[in-house]
């Protein structure tokens, strides 16, 4: 039935582009749109267009912003820079209200298998920032996978000679979980990075 | 972070309106939109607007269509009418390629607790159709819940005196499932509606 009605079929296809959304879920979403008032649907469509029109990358840190320089870069302590892979990682860390410094978004991590080298991500821009301001510490917050580890090692080798401290987020057993159910790799990292009491 | 960027926050809110979508999923959807090209985002927004502009209810059966009368009502055997609660039920049944008749969408079922009486759903329109054309059978395909059962009973009492056969979809153990795991209500229905071999 939904194939027979072109506009519904098209909307189902569009919703299917979203991550983790199959045909059935896309259909439920499409029905929800049909159930909306015209004004609600217009607001939805406008929100999509508005994000594409307004959101861009901060010219300093590379995170999302609607201005030239993002709100974090404008007001926060720029002596500590947290390096992340994606703008969404900034959002995850900001939620903690713990980190008071600024960010640097690499827009990727070094991954030779995928043809991503150090020049393909925003490492040059990071070095330029280190030259401009008095940076005390760079915290590398890339994911704990091969590519994230390689990037962290690469950055440490590059930045430490400049006299800037380089640290990395700790890996280990997630708080609240059990040793029995922790995967081998994580458990091994927890041993290697064990802390003296 | 996402709260600081107004347009992203707004889009996250819009995605949160979709059924079963929480804040986190809505955020992932919003990031996907940001990753799209301008043209892709525009197509997405247009698909939403287009559905609201084009899709309406078939003047005969009450299902979704872009025309005055839907494709099913125009060409199919109108002597058998399958009565369903929602337009999406039409879609579920059409997928089977089994039913060759036409539909009648009630847009609800009788539910006194929610203040929905027989006059609040499209029962009058169904009776009108029975008077106009030579209908042999009405298959009631409302959900097997209190409200769906009540509606089926009501329709049977109303339509049978007109000399039209009224049937209802069978209830029972889902094919492929096991008796042990079938819920009590379903198992009871399976006993009551047991068939002679």
Residue A158 to residues A80, A101, A115, A119, A162: CA-CA distances in angstroms? 17, 21, 20, 13, 8
**Cα separations (Å) of B35 from A91, A94, A179, B29?**
16, 21, 38, 10
* B100-146 pLDDT tens trace: 999 999 999 999 999 999 999 999 999 999 988 889 999 999 988 89
For residues A107 and A86, is the Cβ–Cβ distance under 8 A?
yes
Supply A150's token pair: 């390689």
Give the strand pairing for A56-57 and A64-65. Answer: antiparallel
Phi, psi of A165 (to 5 degrees): -70, 135
From the candidates A9, A43, A47, A75, which should be mutated to test the interface with B, based on the most B CB atoms within 10 A? A47
This complex has an ipTM of 0.80
Contact A29 B38 (CB under 8 A): no
The residue assigned the tokens 């005969």 is B60
Residue B171 has pLDDT above 90, yes or no: no
pTM given for the model: 0.79
A99 touches chain B (CB under 8 A): no
Record: contact A46-B45, CB cut-off 8 A: yes
Smallest Cβ–Cβ distance between A66 and the set B7, B17, B87 belongs to: B7
Q: Is the pLDDT of residue A2 over 50?
A: no
pLDDT of the residue at B176: 82
Structure tokens at A134: 């008095």
What burial class does residue B131 get, using C-beta atoms within 10 Å of its C-beta: 0-12 exposed, 13-18 middle, 19+ buried? exposed
Average pLDDT over residues A4-15: 92
Whether A20 and chain B come into contact, CB under 8 Å, resolves to: yes
- Establish if B188 touches chain A: CB-CB under 8 angstroms: no
Compute the count of residue pairs across chains A and B with CB atoms less than 8 Å apart.
150
What sign results for the dihedral spanned by CA atoms B53, B59, B64, B68? negative
pLDDT of res. B1: 43
Chain-centroid distance of CA A28 in Å reads 29
* Partner-chain residue, chosen from A33, A55, A63, that has the shortest CB–CB distance to B52: A33
Compute chain B's Rg from CA coordinates.
22
- As a whole number, mean pLDDT of residues B7-12 equals 94
Residues on chain B touching A64 (C-beta within 8 angstroms) = 1, 5, 8, 34
Q: Does A45 touch chain B (CB under 8 A)?
A: yes
Non-local (6+) Cβ contacts of B108 within 8 A are B85, B116, B120, B121
Please give the structure tokens belonging to residue A192: 């290697």
Q: pLDDT, tens digit, for every residue of A69-119?
A: 999 999 999 999 999 999 989 988 888 888 999 999 999 999 999 999 999
pLDDT (tens digit, 9 = 90+) per residue, B47-78?
999 999 999 999 999 999 999 999 999 999 99
Gap between the Cα atoms of A130 and A136, Å rounded? 9
DSSP string, chain B: -TTTSHHHHHHHHHHHTSTT--HHHHHHHHHHHHHS-HHHHHHHHHHHHHHHHH-EE-TTT--EESSSS-HHHHHS-TTEEEEESSHHHHHHHHTTT---SEEEE-SS--BGGGTB-GGGTTHHHHHHHHHHS---EEEE---SSHHHHHHHHHHHHHHGGGT-EEEE----PPTT--GGGS-HHHHHHHHHT----
Mind listing the pLDDT tens digit for each residue in B151-169? 999 999 999 999 999 998 8
CB burial string B40-71: b at 16+ within 10 A, e below: ebebbbbbbbbbbebbebbebbbbbbbeeebe
Q: Which of B6, B49, B63 sits opposite A45 (nearest CB)?
A: B49
User: Residue B12: phi, psi to the nearest 5?
Assistant: -60, -45
Is some CB atom of chain B closer than 8 A to the CB atom of A38? yes
Residues of A in contact with B69 (CB under 8 A): none
Closest Cβ–Cβ partner in B38, B51, B87 for A33? B51
On whether any CB of chain A is under 8 Å from the CB of B55, the answer is yes
- Please judge whether A5 and B65 are an interchain contact, meaning their C-beta atoms are less than 8 angstroms apart: yes
* pLDDT in the model for residue A194: 79
Shortest Cα–Cα distance, B157 to chain A (Å): 30
By the 8 A CB rule, do B37 and B43 touch?
no
- Residue B121 burial by CB count (10 A; 0-12/13-18/19+): exposed, middle or buried? buried
Does A75 contact B at CB distance below 8 Å? no
- Sole residue written with tokens 């400049």: A162
In the block, residue with structure tokens 């929800």: A32
Option in A44, A51, A71 nearest B4 (CB): A71
- Residue B96's pLDDT is 84
Q: Does B174 touch chain A (CB under 8 A)?
A: no
Is residue A78 less than 8 Å (CB to CB) from chain B? no
Q: Is the pLDDT of residue B2 over 50?
A: no
**Measured distance between the N- and C-terminal CA atoms of chain B, rounded to whole angstroms:** 66
Task: Report the C-alpha gap between A32 and B121 in whole angstroms.
Answer: 20
């Amino acid at each position: 039935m939904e194939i027979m009605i072109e506009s519904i079929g098209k909307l189902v296809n569009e919703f299917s582009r979203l991550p983790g959304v199959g045909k059935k879920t896309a259909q439920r979403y499409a029905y929800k749109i049909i159930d909306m008032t015209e004004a609600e649907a217009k607001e939805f469509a406008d929100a999509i267009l508005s994000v594409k029109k307004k959101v861009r990358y901060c010219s300093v840190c590379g995170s999302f912003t609607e201005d030239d320089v993002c709100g974090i870069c404008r007001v926060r302590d720029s002596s500590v820079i947290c390096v992340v892979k994606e703008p969404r990682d900034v959002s995850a860390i900001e939620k903690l209200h713990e980190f008071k410094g600024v960010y640097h978004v690499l827009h990727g991590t070094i991954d030779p298998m995928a043809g991503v080298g150090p020049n393909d991500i925003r490492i040059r821009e990071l070095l330029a920032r280190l030259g401009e301001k008095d940076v005390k510490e760079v915290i590398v917050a890339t994911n704990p996978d091969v590519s994230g580890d390689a990037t962290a090692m690469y950055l440490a080798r590059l930045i430490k000679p400049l006299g800037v401290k380089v640290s990395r987020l700790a890996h280990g057993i997630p708080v609240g979980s059990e040793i029995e159910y922790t995967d081998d790799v994580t458990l091994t990292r927890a041993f290697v990075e064990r802390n003296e009491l």
